[in-house]
Amino acid sequence: MKRYNMLLVEDAQARILARTTPTPIEEVPLLEALGRPVARDLASDIDISPFANSAMDGFAVHAADLEGASRERPVDLEVVAHIGAGSVYDGPVEPGQAVRIMTGAPMPAACDSVVKIEDIAVTAGDGSVGSRVAFYAPTKLGSNVRPAGQEAQAGQTVMHAGDVVDSAGVGLLASCGHATVPVHTRPRVGIIATGSELVDITEKPGPGKIRNSNSSALAAQALEAGAIPTIYPAAPDDHDLILATVRKAVAENDFVASSGGASNGDYDFITQAVAELGELIFDRVNMRPGKCQTFGVVEGTPVLGLAGNPAAAFLGFEVLIRPALRKMQGFTQLARPVTWATLAQPISSHEKRREYLRGRVERTEDGGYTAVSFKNQSSALIGTMHQANCLLVIPEGPQDLAAGDKIRCLRIDQAEGVQ
Ligand code: AMP
Ligand code: MG
């Protein structure tokens, strides 16, 4: 069948993003919004705090009463009320009087300042109503008083659409009365594996067979990207069976990821399936591993046919699918952080494609970074992806990099927007 031109990775990403739209909005219990972007601007329904209150355990006073107070000439006040957080005193406080007040209790309207308990002495009684207390210094007007509406005012937007709810955000939304939060539904991702050689994890593979590891790895990547994966039974390399699986998966999901059968071997059917069932958008990406990646839209659902080799499939998901799943959830940060590091070894490559080498980037003592690439970059190996914390990005075209050269490392160990 006709082969399309090879796309630059960024072009492939852009074409996928162009065909993915945010999922519908749902209201979820506050804690279920943790780690997800809010789908709409969210405001507070009240002033927070709704009232001015004391920042200290102490005494609410008129600052004017304490003018001129000193160690030698203390000012003595009469305690006329005693309030803790949750209770209100709205009676009079005349000159010469004070209110014993605890942290968080509303300021009596008649007082303007709070002196903390450590700075006074009880001169008569137990310090509660009817006692007398001595003050040894003047106090600043408004001292230790937290004004109303300091955190937010009623109607004020406290979180904007796209802001990710972290644990402090959960606290903020709780104080603003949001027991539930609007978020985009988690995208449902159908995972298809193609290959007559594949057997289930629970089986010991017979002659010529291997375990289907891609479906599990891709489902895990979908979970990490905030999506809900469904693994379909592996389809043997049969045109009709693959078509039927794709048809079922697109009907039941927001995105479909398949692995295997994406190149032009005798038994590779996924590109043909996408072309027959819907619109084929590209089938080659200028990357290594994983040149053969098919993308199209079937019945309105994006379908990405990843390469079959485990490291290639994993990389394809990371680079092409993960950003799309994030966009669908309303994340604004779609790209993993990049660390520029000093290459620890020379790398020469005759490859025309952009290479993503599994390796590790580490901090050096001088605060820089150094990167090493693993020796065996076979796309059949998934263990080296497990050991990697980054992908060293070798630009398109032949390269002769020396030890000490600077190299871009894609941080697959760090969340988008971290740097
Ligand atoms: P393909 O792209 O179908 O030619 O597959 C390329 C290589 O990846 C072959 O060695 C396949 O056996 C292997 N492979 C394909 N699908 C899977 C899978 N689901 N799990 C593990 N290996 C796979
Ligand atoms: Mg195959």
Q: Which residues line ligand 1 (CB under 6 A)?
A: 193, 195, 197-198, 210, 212-215, 259-263, 265, 307-310
Smallest CA separation from ligand 1 atom 10, residue: 309
Residue from 211, 309, 315, 317 to probe ligand 1 pocket by mutation (most atoms less than 8 Å from CB) = 309
> Residue 3 has what pLDDT?
61
Q: What is the pLDDT along the chain (419 residues), one digit of tens a residue?
A: 656 678 999 999 999 999 999 999 999 999 999 999 999 999 999 999 999 999 999 999 999 999 999 999 999 999 999 999 999 999 999 999 999 999 999 999 999 999 999 999 999 999 999 999 999 999 999 999 999 999 999 999 999 999 999 999 999 999 999 999 999 999 999 999 999 999 999 999 999 999 999 999 999 999 999 999 999 999 999 999 999 999 999 999 999 999 999 998 899 999 999 999 999 999 999 999 999 999 999 999 999 999 999 999 999 999 999 999 999 999 999 999 999 999 999 999 999 999 999 999 999 999 999 999 999 999 999 999 999 999 999 999 999 999 999 999 999 999 999 87
* Closest ligand by atom to 192 CA: 1
The rounded Å distance from CA 224 to ligand 2 centre is: 26
**Tokens standing for residue 344:** 């620890």
Please tell me the number of Cα atoms within 13 Å of 232 on its side-chain side: 27
The CA distance from 214 to 260, in Å, is 9
> Residue 121 has what pLDDT?
98
The rounded Å distance from CA 7 to ligand 1 centre is: 22
Q: What is the DSSP letter of 307?
A: -
Strands 97-101 and 75-83: parallel
> Residue 254 has what pLDDT?
98
> Residue 371 has what pLDDT?
98
This prediction has a pTM of: 0.95
To which H or E segment does residue 218 belong?
Answer: helix 214-224
**Tokens standing for residue 267:** 């038994």
Query: Nearest to residue 329, comparing CAs of 250, 255, 403?
Result: 255
CA-312 nearest atom, ligand 1: 8
> Residue 334 has what pLDDT?
98
Query: Nearest to residue 338, comparing CAs of 316, 369, 366, 310?
Result: 369
The rounded Å distance from CA 399 to ligand 1 centre is: 29
User: Residue 284 — φ and ψ, nearest 5°?
Assistant: -145, 140
